[in-house]
Structure 1
Amino acid sequence: MDPKIMWLFIFVALYWSYCIFWGIKGALSSRTASDYFIAGRSISLWVFVLAATATSFSGWTFMGHPGLIYRDGLQYAYASFYAITIPFTGVLFLKRQWMIGKRFGYVTPGEMFADYFKSDTLRILVVLVALIFSIPYLGVQLRASGFLFNVLTDGMLGVEVGMWLLSAVVLIYVASGGLRAVAYVDTMQAILLALGIVIIGIIAMYYIGGFTELNKGIAALSQFDDKRTPDGYSSYIAVPGVIQFISDGTKSIGGMWTGIMILTYMFALMGIQSAPAFTMWAFSNNSPKPFAPQQVWASSFIIGFILMVFTAIQGIGGHFLGANLAFMNAHPELVNNVLGPIFNNQDIMQQSSKEGALVPALIHLMAGSAPWLVGLLSVCALAAMQSTGSAYMSTAGGMLTRDLLKRYLMPNATHAQQKFWGRIGVVVIVLAALVVATTATDALVLLGGLAVAYGFQMFPALIAICFWPFLTRAGVVIGLVAGLIAVTMTESIGMSLFAWLGIDPLWGRWPLTIHSAGWGILFNLTLAIGVSALTQDSKELEHRMTFHRFLREHASLPESKKGLVPIAWIITLAWFFFGIGPGAVIGNWIFGNPNDPSSWLFGIPSIWAWQLLFWALGVAMMWFLAYKMEMSTVPSREIQALQEDIGDIRLDVERPS
């Protein structure tokens, strides 16, 4: 047997053994429904820190992100700031959701929103968002795992066969052990994800020949590139402006990643922690103590640094390793053609685009000299792809059971019945994801992108329950529906729907280079505020104030820090504007003329230096918000639980103040 394949099977067997161990352990310790669905609210500090990090950064981070940097250049590398913007959502909402969940005994976000707004409609919408998010997002991860093993076994394992086989183990441990098993497996997956990205970055740098050769290559690539921004800069090392007033973002000049596109794309990725699944992660903790270290240090600092450096090297370095045939022909002296044989393999390239095959090809480079490393990196990739999927499988199964089955069909369901149907829900979700991944291969990535934009549409509902009692039930429901529709109508799936109906919508995907998440939240929040202004009701407001009085008593800043609130607003808005928004265009040239490599102040393109600077400033911002502004610290007053299980009480019972 090929040593590479032998080591691949050895490491996969070890990894699967670890997963199944925690599945069994989780099943044995899940005595109640709360134990199964939210780990009995007992996830420990470091388990949450690692598990939430693994859930936030999926196989897309490992497999897809470097490929898009290869395709679109460092203008797309601004997407690496999701290492900060994803946990920024957690800074805003996780602590307050944990407090509300602890106080009132919620298990699912549907229970929380339905009780707060006195609305079963919102309960159903939350479950719908969770399913729309989970199924295509999980499908993307599962198909990517099948493709990876297809490449690394030299086609011995077909994509669909590998996808179904690799899904079996994740299904077993998630269905059997619930969220507790997911959390403990995710701790290992977080370590493997980070380790794998670093090692692959080092491999790419080794074959490039070091930093000096990388810099020479980038300089030559920027001169060779004939795709120029409106300012005449190479699209690989400059964003193409603040916004472009054209109907279809995919036809933008000099690349699609304008300042406003980057900002609204970050909105979409913020949907990962505003999606219903992360509410259940919040509920699963014994204390908010893990939130700040996860948000500031594990995610923003460690994962942020890895993405800004090692992922960027993988992506842009692909041009200097033989992936870019035209550049290799023009500058053979700057290219070490080690990837060429893989990209010339028609069987492989029929299954994926060049950018999708980049990371598997980099892993494959070690097949001859270190076959054991191929096995290890394969498991790192598999862990990355399963880390997010497992959490969404578990939480979506919980929501199906609690918010639909228990609420409407089996109100007196026992703990054993809830666990049984929760497991059935996991099976249904995985099978649905596999069917989508098998039958909708061309639309899969588009559906995955649609999922995170949908998740972001939960923002107004979270703002309402955590901060702003002004927003009413009617406002939030109408806003959420409008946001979901706007996202759909500005994505490729909407364009396909219009084409099927024979209608010309007069706009394309991402019009005005604004991501669908941006269009969705524009309609969502506008209608939520406008309808709320017209539907105020004193009795409903008093009910909502029950929650907000509790939050004000337990989560308000001490008087000594209230003067910092305007500073926090200024810091946050400035970072979003200049770091990942319209002001990011300054980064094109502030540290050197993109067209003159000799002027690059730090020996790298100005855009990369700007990104590293704002990564460091972003970590500082997150520390200020999470710790100094106490948005993710332990409340000074102990939270007394009023009810252990909201599923056992009626929604029309008034809450004590």
Structure 2
Amino acid sequence: MSPAITSTIILALFTFIVLAIGLFGWAKKLDNNASDFFVASRTLGFAALFFTYTATYHSASAFLGTGGFLYAHGMSYWAIGPYTQTLGGILLYLVGSRVWLLGKKYDFMTPGDLLDAFYQSKFLKVLTGIVLAAFVIPYIQLQLAGAGWITEFATLGAVPYVWGALISGIVVLIFVYLGGMRSVAWTDIFMGIFMFVAMVAGCWYLTDVLYGGPTQTWLTVAEKTPNQLLLPGDAGYFSLPMAFSWTVIITIGLSVAAPHVIMRMFSAGSIKVLKWVAVLSPLYLIWIYISYIWFGLGTKAVFPGIEFPDEILPRFLYEYTPLVFAAIVCAGGLAAVLSTANSQLHAASALITRDVYQTIKKDASDKRLISVGRIAIVVIFLFSFYASIEKPPLLAMLIALATGGMAQIFPMLFGALFWPRATKAGALSGFVVGTVVMVWFTLGKIDLLDMMPGLWALLFNAVVFVVVSLCTRPQPAEVIRKFHGFLDSDEAKLLLKQSS
């Protein structure tokens, strides 16, 4: 059997298993209502929530972009990893526990549900739904592109890029369309485990085969490319201000402010489940990067001048490891892609359905909401697939840009959860200013004071939010009681105690 056919069969088998598990999740639905479709009836246990959070965190950028960034920037790229994931776990619990309480009490399902209830603004709900969906869609595009790249590479060209992106996307489309959050969670359990084992095994095996293990890799790098071990690295990109801005934006944008993460906070079966996900998820996430670092650094030292460093992991797998092993690890990369694409596709459809459509059509039934959500899934998929045909770059930089946009809801989310003096005018003005600055600085390629656009956008957003809130009338007393009064009440403490 030819290498191309062997690799194709392995990837096809993996894809079939993912589809079967997704259909199983659909069959396990509790109810045919909006709550089950969008937040799995708030019943996700530890395994489901843990893997649907962590597997979604790692995407095409983790499998492909991480290698490219370690090759180009060395330890300076690794320097942001442990901080973003550890701080992300802390914020997930601090923010998530309050989001979970409010969702349990008032049946919130999306970020817009919560923000509208506190700021009393349908316009804000629609605006955030549209803007967040706009930032999520390129993220889906990136995953489909990653699926195309991995499939074409792993099948040795037997399955072209476009067909790889299309087939992988259709598999995700089918089970997300049918099962919603429940299918997403079930597939993420499988893909999260598969991805972790495959990527860790692949990186450690290559480190041993190519460089003689971690210790020898470290000595080789120190001798041949010592700048790889220093800030800001050979490329000079990750200065301290830039590393700091990356840490802040990735932590906020990917760990707590992304719409799919907030929806997972609503979906947790108990606060105990959410707490343990927050505690243990950094260990899972960081260990993948630990496994990758020696391979990425060693490749620059031993194989300088690689033209496309984003491809070093699949390329070296097929050149230096057994074919079946290489194909299985690449299937793990495909798991990273699909586990992100399914969550983002589901979240984008929820934003369009709950935050936009239901706001306009207030009397929409659950059946209609599910139908609209499914239509949104198909439309968003088609739009994202069409965009992915252009083969966007698979660098981690694109993740930073997307998370910078999603992070712009954080100030008003923080206000709704922790600051009673926050106002509707402050939330609207801060969000608009932050989004405009984000787009302006990104399109203009402005890294003011050597910090990324997302951080500047967040700073402008936060300042405007606070100043305007202090200059305008507070939210009605009954709204503040509904949120902050409830969060500090004996009822909330009892809920936390009962579910701990």
**Paired residue secondary structure (1:31):** coil
Q: TM-score w.r.t. structure 1 length?
A: 0.71
In structure 2, C-alpha distance between the alignment counterparts of 1:88 and 1:277, rounded to whole Å = 18
1:355 and 2:355 are equivalent in the alignment? no
Q: CA deviation at 1:138?
A: 1.1
After TM superposition, list the pairs within 5 Å mapping 1:429-508 onto structure 2. 429-439=380-390, 441=392, 448-491=399-442, 494-495=443-444, 508=445
Q: CA deviation at 1:212?
A: 4.0
1:402 and 2:402 are equivalent in the alignment? no
**Paired residue secondary structure (1:146):** helix
Note if contact 1:37-1:398 (Cα within 8 Å) is conserved in structure 2. yes
Which residue of structure 2 aligns with residue 304 of structure 1?
Answer: 286
In structure 1, C-alpha distance between the alignment counterparts of 2:371 and 2:293, rounded to whole Å = 45
Note if contact 1:554-1:635 (Cα within 8 Å) is conserved in structure 2. no
1:381 and 2:333 are equivalent in the alignment? yes
In structure 1, C-alpha distance between the alignment counterparts of 2:490 and 2:416, rounded to whole Å = 15
In structure 2, C-alpha distance between the alignment counterparts of 1:76 and 1:365, rounded to whole Å = 26
Cα deviation, 1:191-219, whole Å, max 9, x if unaligned, reads 12211221122122122122343123112
In structure 1, C-alpha distance between the alignment counterparts of 2:397 and 2:81, rounded to whole Å = 19
1:121 and 2:132 are equivalent in the alignment? no
Which residue of structure 2 aligns with residue 83 of structure 1?
Answer: 85
1:219 and 2:222 are equivalent in the alignment? yes
Which residue of structure 2 aligns with residue 200 of structure 1?
Answer: 202
Note if contact 1:4-1:375 (Cα within 8 Å) is conserved in structure 2. no
Note if contact 2:102-2:483 (Cα within 8 Å) is conserved in structure 1. yes
In structure 1, C-alpha distance between the alignment counterparts of 2:385 and 2:395, rounded to whole Å = 11
The one-letter code matched in structure 2 to 1:405 is Y
**Paired residue secondary structure (2:413):** helix
The one-letter code matched in structure 1 to 2:456 is W
Where in structure 1 are there 5+ consecutive unaligned residues? 224-233, 242-252, 326-342, 344-352, 496-507, 558-632, 640-657
Q: Which residue of 467, 482, 496 maps to 1:635?
A: 496
1:527 and 2:464 are equivalent in the alignment? yes
**Paired residue secondary structure (2:268):** coil
In structure 2, C-alpha distance between the alignment counterparts of 1:357 and 1:263, rounded to whole Å = 27
1:159 and 2:132 are equivalent in the alignment? no
Indicate how the Cα distance of structure 1 residues 376 and 276 shifts in structure 2: closer, same or farther if over 3 A, else same.
same
Q: Which residue of 514, 530, 548 maps to 2:451?
A: 514
Note if contact 2:423-2:469 (Cα within 8 Å) is conserved in structure 1. yes
Q: CA deviation at 1:528?
A: 0.3
Q: CA deviation at 1:390?
A: 0.8
Which residue of structure 2 aligns with residue 247 of structure 1?
Answer: none
Note if contact 1:150-1:156 (Cα within 8 Å) is conserved in structure 2. yes
Q: CA deviation at 1:371?
A: 2.1
The one-letter code matched in structure 2 to 1:437 is S
In structure 2, C-alpha distance between the alignment counterparts of 1:417 and 1:523, rounded to whole Å = 39
In structure 2, C-alpha distance between the alignment counterparts of 1:201 and 1:535, rounded to whole Å = 55
After TM superposition, list the pairs within 5 Å mapping 1:246-257 onto structure 2. 255-257=236-238
Q: CA deviation at 1:28?
A: 5.9
Indicate how the Cα distance of structure 1 residues 447 and 254 shifts in structure 2: closer, same or farther if over 3 A, else same.
closer
Report the structure number with the largest CA radius of gyration.
Answer: 1
The one-letter code matched in structure 1 to 2:380 is I
After TM superposition, list the pairs within 5 Å mapping 1:17-56 onto structure 2. 17-26=17-26, 29=29, 30-56=31-57
Which residue of structure 2 aligns with residue 393 of structure 1?
Answer: 345
Indicate how the Cα distance of structure 1 residues 541 and 489 shifts in structure 2: closer, same or farther if over 3 A, else same.
farther
Q: TM-score w.r.t. structure 2 length?
A: 0.92
**Paired residue secondary structure (2:488):** helix
Q: Percent of pairs identical after alignment? A: 25
**Paired residue secondary structure (1:635):** helix
In structure 1, C-alpha distance between the alignment counterparts of 2:149 and 2:394, rounded to whole Å = 16
Indicate how the Cα distance of structure 1 residues 441 and 60 shifts in structure 2: closer, same or farther if over 3 A, else same.
closer
In structure 1, C-alpha distance between the alignment counterparts of 2:394 and 2:65, rounded to whole Å = 15
In structure 2, C-alpha distance between the alignment counterparts of 1:634 and 1:22, rounded to whole Å = 32
Alignment length (residue pairs): 495
Which residue of structure 2 aligns with residue 246 of structure 1?
Answer: none
In structure 1, C-alpha distance between the alignment counterparts of 2:245 and 2:25, rounded to whole Å = 42
The one-letter code matched in structure 2 to 1:306 is I
In structure 2, C-alpha distance between the alignment counterparts of 1:38 and 1:66, rounded to whole Å = 34
Q: CA deviation at 1:190?
A: 1.3
Which residue of structure 2 aligns with residue 648 of structure 1?
Answer: none
Note if contact 2:100-2:271 (Cα within 8 Å) is conserved in structure 1. yes
Q: CA deviation at 1:280?
A: 1.2
Where in structure 2 are there 5+ consecutive unaligned residues? none
Cα deviation, 1:579-627, whole Å, max 9, x if unaligned, reads xxxxxxxxxxxxxxxxxxxxxxxxxxxxxxxxxxxxxxxxxxxxxxxxx
